[in-house]
Amino acid sequence: MKSLEELRKLRAELEKEISTRNSEGKPKIIIGMGTCGIAAGARDILQAVTKEVRKRNLDVNISQTGCIGMCEQEPLLDVQLPGQDRITYGKVTAGDVERIVVEHLINGNAVKDLAIARLEEGGI
Amino acid sequence: MSKITLTIDDQVVEVEPGTTILDAARQVGVEIPTLCYHPDLSLHGSCRVCVVEDLNSHRLLASCAVPAGEGMKISTRSAKTRKARRMNVELLLANHPADCLGCDRSGSCELQELTYNLGISREAVERFAGEKRDLPLDTSGVALKRDPNKCILCGRCVRVCEEIQGLGALEFSGRGFDSIVTTAFDLPQSEVNCAKCGQCAAVCPVGAITEVSSLDQVWAALEDPAKHVVVQTAPTIQVSIGEEFGLQPGTVVTGKLIAALRRLGFQKVFSTEFSADLTILEEGNEFISRIQADKNLPHITSCCPGWVKYAEQNYADLLNHLSTAKSPQQMFSAITKTYYAEQAQLDPEDIFTVSIMPCTAKKFEAAREEHRDSGFQDTDAVLTTRELARMIKEAGIDFVNLAEDRYDQIMGETTGAATIFGTTGGVTEAALRTVKEVLTGESLSKLNLGVLGVREAEVEIAGRNYKVAVVSGLADAAQVLDMVRDGKCEYDWIEVMACPHGCVGGGGQPIPSTLEKKRKRAQGLASIDQTNTIRKSHENPDVLKLYEEYLGEPLGGKSHHLLHTSYRVR
Amino acid sequence: MNPKFYRSHVLVCTGTGCVSSGASNVRDNLEAKLEEFGLQDEIKIVETGCHGFCEQGPIVIVYPEGVFYCQVQTDDITDIVEDHLLKGRVVDRLLYTEQGTEIRIPAYSDIDFYKKQHRIVLGNCGRINPESIKEYIAVNGYEACGKALTEMTPEEVIAEIKGSGLRGRGGAGFPTGLKWELTRQSPGEKKYVICNADEGDPGAFMDRSLLEGDPHRIIEGMIIAAYAIGADEGYIYVRAEYPLAIRRLEIALQQAREYGLLGEDIFGSGFNFDLKIKKGAGAFVCGEETALMASIEGQRGMPRPKPPFPSVSGLWGKPTNINNVETYGNVPDIMRGGAEAYRAIGTEHSTGTKVFALTGKINNTGLVEVPMGMSLKEIIYDIGGGVSDGRELKAVQIGGPSGGCIPADLLDLPIDYESLREVGAMMGSGGMVVMDDTTCMVDVARFFLKFTQSESCGKCTPCREGTKRMLEILDRLCSGEGREGDLELLEELGEHIISTSLCQLGGSAPNPVLSTLKYFRAEYEAHIKDKRCPANVCAGMAAPYVIDEALCIGCTACVRVCPTGAISGERKKPHIIHPQVCISCGICASKCPVHAIAQG
């Protein structure tokens, strides 16, 4: 360590390694992992999301939820950006994941053709 | 830095920064009682007897440890001080055997004196009655014995052995109430790296470490009509034994000492100075021959038995540097049971040899297997200065008022050179006086060696410069010996005495034994040397007669048999 | 690309407390299960240090949700993996249940035990992997050190610490900044810093937890101290009985060297510093600074008189700054957040927080960090969950074996250095032992004194001999042989030992006796005058046990276990206990299947 700058630069990198432990003010991706969801292939979606976030070096929280009663729409994937409404995407395929991540998570535009519901901020 | 001003018992005193309260108090004539404190040793601060009250803060301070502070208002006799001081002594007494009557240190015990001075009652101690330490005594040694139950854990013995002697034969062990002072692994003291110098006994404030007494044997020999009891007195006894009878250290009482011994019933009273001169002749010639052969240099003296034992234990690789000449005590005894027996027409078996020594290691030396060259144990009994004083007291002899007497003939002649054997540097000076004169016919000018640390001098003899070193105290000796071992040493001659300041500071000398007293004893020896008409060993007429009539030449066959010895690795 | 991204982090506490309740197996099983379910690339296991809530161990926390699972056993792992990590369903039965309620609380921060705490020193404990310098750096680690070394002069660092009001957390409460300043001002080229981690109080484990959970914090604090006083070498003196703390410190030191945070020219500042670990052999007295330094030097651990203080003449005779683990642990936060912010926590003269080890008859045993000045009541009831088994609080013993006992009626006492001293206790290193009404205060005093007496180094008279005599008096009281005048003698001895001992071990050893004598004198008197132990603790004086004849079924279970043969009776008929023979040991009561035996 030869300067304070060097330390700070290093820290900026390292903070990402433990960012999973911090959820405040971060975008969230929530995947329906009820029996219905898993039966419809939600496990693949979860893996695809993880892979995508890792690939694009994003600071995002990924969590799971149970059945929300829309079993016929499974696999379900919700995206919630800080301070914005929570958008639910239905019948998501592994192929859709990249699009949702890029368009919604990175660029902030909900992917309208896949979205099936909108929950107001603070809901659930 | 400016001076510090404080008051002690209402007296204003001004001291240098860093002066302890204890020393500051002494400047105004206030003696604060102490127990673990010893002027020649490092600060320990454990007994808490020297506490005094600072009337500003009302806190109790250990005066031996705390430096005087500006504006302090010290009371060494406030009710709080006296109570605390007493209670610490009471606590010590509650764990101390109540057998003052049978203790060797009764009368010279600091704890006993404190108990009296502080007015401690039996009841005050008994309220703390409970468990007492109950450990076996260590009587394994021929010179010293330890009674761990009397130990008050002041640590003086630990410190003197570590700091002055560099041995560390004694250490603290255990915790809490089970704390004791003991040897490594609790081994018997006869099995540890101990030089038998007795410095521990000399600094012990109580009777926890004392010499193994030979008084009974000596009394028995004196009572035995079949025994011819011969006594020799080491050079320092004449300047130290007076202390036991209230005289100042260094007071020369040679004549009274001889008179007392005669009254006790010793048939012949001789001086070890006779054999000190003999040692010089043997060792001086040995040194000359080593120089000529350039062998076993540096030459190291061997008259101190503590040093010899220490060397055998710690510097076995250097034993060939030690003079093979016996110590004056052993030369004396060997000659007594041969030459003297012949002269006096006595059967050596009937002769009982006693030596009065300032030393505890001499007891060990006398018991060595090597010292039977007369065909008998050469030295039968060794008494320390303290033991002899006790004997004189038992016999009811009014020592101070005795008329002066003289040593007996044939082994009683003394020289100034032999006298100064008793102080550090003396052996060297005595040897060089003879060596120089034997080789050149010129006399030696005063060496002016100091008394502490490693001291060096250069002496020119017959065109060659001799480099000599003198050291007393084994920790300092180790420094020089390490240099010899590492080959970094240019000395031709090294004198080693185990005890600080030499024999005047021996472990068998009157207690308390401080550097201050040792200096005065050494001054007494110097005054004898200066007033003696014979000041060189080779001029001692009794010694010359001995060679002429019996031994022949120094280092000759008979000399070699009776006056030289060998060493062993321990 | 962030190959280090895992969608979930599972934190498993592997502090000594959790490991002893099975955390290592939990961790191993978790690893196996993750592989079994193919989750190893999505989920990361992080081993952490102690959370302090040791009562509830092993503790597992799942992020990003931050769900706090407690008392997790190996068998519970399948549920955590299958339900939570895969399906997102929280495993309810493993959640913490608040004392006296049925409510299960999933989030760490909502648990009462944590709500009132203010965790600065323990801030990272349980939240980062102590074996990873990266995680420490990621949570602002070494920022304070970098700032101090590159942007501040040593004098400015000292001014900041002085301004914070930080005081020594090892017990005495000496102002840390002042200590640093004195050491800096002492003449000498060579100086040392030492961290005192010779935690020896029975029941205390704050230093251990901190070293196990966040070793880099201590290293950082020491680098800053070394820079401030001008030292280039330091020692961490840890008990050899703390193998995990030592291992994690060794790893941390190695990492710090690799990152150039120890060694030469740290942060390009030209400042050199390195640290060594010295293992202590477990002597309590080595916590005393001069004894500790003697021990590092290879001598017997024995205190020496002060002055000279270590700041003037310490290790190998050189000026030395010696602080406790927790003290150094505060330094990085002070330097990062500033003295003002730190001062805002706690009270005027006792700033910041203090870590306490809660033990004894309390529901939430563990390690807590609270702002100075918090009342004893808040700590015991709001954080500690109150006295266990619903019993009545009798006293709290604070400050380790040489602390004092504070009675229940002083519960509103604010915990700071001065208040504690006023009531005859002391901050000590932060042990807090809660005692209920089944505790005999004479017995308690005896327990602590026995400890200090046997750990006394034996050097000075009052401590070696005096505490022994006090102990003998207490032994006699507890066995019903107390005499008139014993209490006065105890007080006289106690005050004497405090005022004349060489070091603070002796200087504080009588505290448990004197404080219980002060607040529970009647209990002592009962032992002497009535030969009775009111709490029924002291053997020989406790009331004998009696059998309720109405309940006894004559099964003879009691007869078989009674060590003195005090019970007799016919089989299948009510038995009786002979009071003269009964020694009140209580074994019979514990074996009775129908609870027919009780103390009379």
- Cα–Cα distance measured from residue A75 to residue A40, given in angstroms and rounded to the nearest whole number: 6
State the Cα angle at C586 between C584 and C592, rounded to 5°.
135
CATH number at residue C385: 3.10.20.600
Output the pLDDT for position C1.
67
The residue range of the domain holding C376 is 353-436
CA–CA min distance C258, chain A (Å): 9
In a domain, C16, yes or no: yes
Domain closes at, from C324, C343, C362: C343
Output the pLDDT for position B87.
97
B365 is catalytic: yes
DSSP for A29-44 reads EEEE-SHHHHHTTHHH
Query: Do C7 and A1 make contact, defined as CB atoms within 8 angstroms?
Result: no
Contact indicator for B565, B370 with CB cutoff of 8 Å:
yes
Q: What is the pLDDT of residues B309-356, one digit of tens each?
A: 999 999 999 999 999 999 999 999 999 999 999 999 999 999 999 999
B370 is catalytic: yes
A123 pLDDT exceeds 60? no
Nearest to C147 among A4, A64, A66 (CB): A4
**Residue B369 DSSP symbol:** T
Q: Are C413 and C457 in a shared domain?
A: no
B177 band by pLDDT with thresholds 50, 70 and 90:
very high
Cα separation values, B31 from B28, B64, B259, B450, Å: 9, 11, 37, 30
Nearest to C461 among B43, B47, B171 (CB): B47
Residue B218 C-beta-side C-alpha neighbours within 13 Å: 24
Residue A123 C-beta-side C-alpha neighbours within 13 Å: 14
CA–CA min distance A112, chain C (Å): 26
Contacts of B503 (CB under 8 A, 6+ apart): B234, B235, B236, B304, B358, B359, B421, B422, B423, B497
Q: Are C77 and C143 in a shared domain?
A: no
- Cα–Cα distance measured from residue C200 to residue B57, given in angstroms and rounded to the nearest whole number: 32
In a domain, C119, yes or no: no
Output the pLDDT for position B224.
97
Would you list which residues of chain C are within 8 Å, Cβ to Cβ, of chain A? 1-9, 11, 41-42, 44, 63-66, 86-89, 127-128, 134-135, 137-140, 142-143, 146-147, 150-151, 259-261, 265-268
CA–CA min distance C222, chain A (Å): 17
Single out the residue of C389, C485, C132 nearest to residue B127, CA to CA.
Answer: C485
C224 vs A contacts (CB less than 8 Å)? none
Residue A62 in contact with partner chain C when CB distance is under 8 A: yes
> Which chains does chain B touch, 3 or more C-beta pairs < 8 A?
C
- Cα–Cα distance measured from residue C338 to residue C352, given in angstroms and rounded to the nearest whole number: 12
DSSP H stretches of helix in C280-345:
289-296, 325-337, 339-343
A40 band by pLDDT with thresholds 50, 70 and 90:
confident
Query: Do A23 and C41 make contact, defined as CB atoms within 8 angstroms?
Result: no
Domains: count for chain C: 5
- A with B: touching (≥3 Cβ pairs within 8 Å): no
In a domain, C295, yes or no: yes
Question: Average pLDDT, whole number, for chain B?
Answer: 94
DSSP H stretches of helix in chain A:
4-17, 35-39, 42-55, 94-99
Q: Are C311 and C418 in a shared domain?
A: no
Catalytic choice (B110, B162, B273, B283): B283
- Cα–Cα distance measured from residue C49 to residue C316, given in angstroms and rounded to the nearest whole number: 34
Nearest to C137 among A10, A20, A21 (CB): A10
Query: Do A31 and C66 make contact, defined as CB atoms within 8 angstroms?
Result: no
Domain closes at, from C505, C529, C553: C529
Q: Are C274 and C398 in a shared domain?
A: no
Single out the residue of C512, C442, C510 nearest to residue C476, CA to CA.
Answer: C442
Catalytic choice (B303, B304, B489, B499): B303
Fold of B215-563: Rossmann fold (3.40.50)
Three-class SS of residue B172? strand
CA–CA min distance C8, chain A (Å): 6
Q: SS3 letters for C333-354?
A: HHHHHCHHHHHCCECCCCECEE
In a domain, C208, yes or no: yes
Query: Do C137 and A7 make contact, defined as CB atoms within 8 angstroms?
Result: yes
Q: Which residue of C has its CA nearest to A60?
A: C7
Q: What is the pLDDT of residues B189-203, one digit of tens each?
A: 889 999 999 999 999
Output the pLDDT for position A124.
44
In a domain, C72, yes or no: yes
Nearest to B171 among C300, C460, C462 (CB): C300
Q: Are C302 and C412 in a shared domain?
A: no
B47 vs C contacts (CB less than 8 Å)? 460-461
Contact indicator for C324, C400 with CB cutoff of 8 Å:
no
Q: Which of B91, B151, B181 to mutate to test the interface with C (most CBs of C within 10 A)?
A: B91
CATH number at residue C76: 3.40.30.10
CATH number at residue C467: 1.20.1440.230
DSSP H stretches of helix in B470-536:
474-485, 515-531
Q: What is the pLDDT of residues B110-125, one digit of tens each?
A: 999 999 999 999 999 9
For residue C326, count other CB atoms closer than 10 A to its CB.
Answer: 27
- Cα–Cα distance measured from residue B25 to residue B34, given in angstroms and rounded to the nearest whole number: 13
Output the pLDDT for position B321.
96
B478 band by pLDDT with thresholds 50, 70 and 90:
very high
Tell which wins on pLDDT, B442 or C396. Answer: C396
B90 is catalytic: no
Output the pLDDT for position B1.
66
Output the pLDDT for position C271.
96
- B with C: touching (≥3 Cβ pairs within 8 Å): yes
Q: What CATH number does domain B144-211 carry, 3.40.50.1820, 3.40.190.10, 3.30.70.20, 1.10.3720.10?
A: 3.30.70.20
- Cα–Cα distance measured from residue C456 to residue C459, given in angstroms and rounded to the nearest whole number: 8
Domain boundaries, chain B: 1-128, 144-211, 215-563
Q: Are C387 and C337 in a shared domain?
A: no
A18 pLDDT exceeds 80? yes
Where in C448-582 does DSSP place strands (E)? Answer: 545-547, 567-568, 576-577
The owner of tokens 């994690």 is C248
Q: Are C422 and C571 in a shared domain?
A: no
CATH fold match for the domains B1-128 and B144-211: no
Beta pairing class for B51-54 and B59-62: antiparallel
Query: Do C138 and A18 make contact, defined as CB atoms within 8 angstroms?
Result: yes
Query: Do B45 and C304 make contact, defined as CB atoms within 8 angstroms?
Result: yes
Q: Are C308 and C268 in a shared domain?
A: yes
Output the pLDDT for position C540.
67
- Name the residue type at position C320: T
Contact indicator for B304, B327 with CB cutoff of 8 Å:
yes
Q: What CATH number does domain B1-128 carry, 3.10.20.740, 3.20.20.80, 3.30.565.10, 3.40.50.300?
A: 3.10.20.740
Query: Do C64 and A21 make contact, defined as CB atoms within 8 angstroms?
Result: yes
- Cα–Cα distance measured from residue B278 to residue B553, given in angstroms and rounded to the nearest whole number: 11
Query: Do B155 and C459 make contact, defined as CB atoms within 8 angstroms?
Result: yes
How many angstroms separate the most distant Cα atoms in chain A? 59
A24 vs C contacts (CB less than 8 Å)? none
Output the pLDDT for position B29.
95
B508 pLDDT exceeds 80? yes
C492 vs B contacts (CB less than 8 Å)? 87
Domains in chain A, ordered, with CATH? 27-119 (3.40.30.10)
Q: What is the pLDDT of residues C193-226, one digit of tens each?
A: 999 999 888 778 899 999 999 999 999 999 999 9
- Cα–Cα distance measured from residue C569 to residue C572, given in angstroms and rounded to the nearest whole number: 9
C215 forms bridges with which residues in the sheet?
none
- Picking from B124-128, B241-245, C582-586, which range would have the lowest pLDDT averaged per residue? C582-586
DSSP H stretches of helix in C51-129:
77-79, 112-115
- Cα–Cα distance measured from residue A30 to residue C69, given in angstroms and rounded to the nearest whole number: 22
The mean per-residue pLDDT over the stretch A31-49 comes to: 89
Query: Do C458 and B177 make contact, defined as CB atoms within 8 angstroms?
Result: yes
Structure tokens that stand for C230 in this block: 């001008």
B359 by Cβ neighbours in 10 Å (0-12 / 13-18 / 19+) ranks as buried
Cα separation values, C32 from A49, B15, B261, C36, C153, Å: 23, 76, 94, 6, 52
A15 vs C contacts (CB less than 8 Å)? 138
CA–CA min distance C469, chain B (Å): 6
Catalytic choice (B362, B363, B436, B518): B362
Contact indicator for C236, C277 with CB cutoff of 8 Å:
yes
B404 is catalytic: no
> Which chains does chain A touch, 3 or more C-beta pairs < 8 A?
C
Query: Do A18 and C128 make contact, defined as CB atoms within 8 angstroms?
Result: yes
CATH number at residue C161: 3.40.50.11540
- Cα–Cα distance measured from residue C518 to residue C81, given in angstroms and rounded to the nearest whole number: 56
- pLDDT in tens for each of the 600 residues of chain C? 677 789 999 999 998 888 988 999 999 999 999 999 989 888 999 999 988 888 888 999 999 888 999 999 999 999 999 889 988 889 999 999 887 777 888 887 788 888 899 999 999 998 899 999 999 999 999 999 999 999 999 999 999 999 999 999 987 889 999 999 999 999 999 999 999 999 888 778 899 999 999 999 999 999 999 999 999 999 999 999 899 999 999 999 999 999 999 999 999 999 999 999 999 887 888 889 999 999 999 888 899 999 899 999 999 999 999 999 999 999 999 999 999 999 999 999 999 999 999 999 999 888 999 999 999 999 999 999 999 988 999 999 998 888 889 999 999 999 999 999 888 888 888 889 999 999 999 999 999 999 999 999 999 999 999 999 999 999 999 998 999 999 999 999 999 999 999 998 999 999 999 999 999 999 999 999 988 899 988 876 767 788 999 999 999 999 999 988 899 999 999 999 998 888 878 889 888 999 999 886
Q: Which residue of B has its CA nearest to C460?
A: B46
Q: Are C45 and C71 in a shared domain?
A: yes
CA–CA min distance A113, chain C (Å): 27
Query: Do B84 and C461 make contact, defined as CB atoms within 8 angstroms?
Result: no
Q: What are phi and psi of C63, to 5 degrees?
A: -110, 155
Residue C500 in contact with partner chain B when CB distance is under 8 A: yes
Query: Do C469 and B175 make contact, defined as CB atoms within 8 angstroms?
Result: no
Contacts of B493 (CB under 8 A, 6+ apart): B287, B298, B299, B300, B301, B428, B431, B466, B467, B468, B469
> Which chains does chain C touch, 3 or more C-beta pairs < 8 A?
A, B
- Cα–Cα distance measured from residue C52 to residue C114, given in angstroms and rounded to the nearest whole number: 9
Q: Which of C1, C4, C7 to mutate to test the interface with A (most CBs of A within 10 A)?
A: C7
Q: Are C154 and C201 in a shared domain?
A: yes
C454 vs B contacts (CB less than 8 Å)? 175-178
Q: Are C87 and C139 in a shared domain?
A: no
Three-class SS of residue B210? strand
CA–CA min distance A9, chain C (Å): 10
Cα separation values, B358 from B241, B304, B423, C2, Å: 9, 11, 11, 85
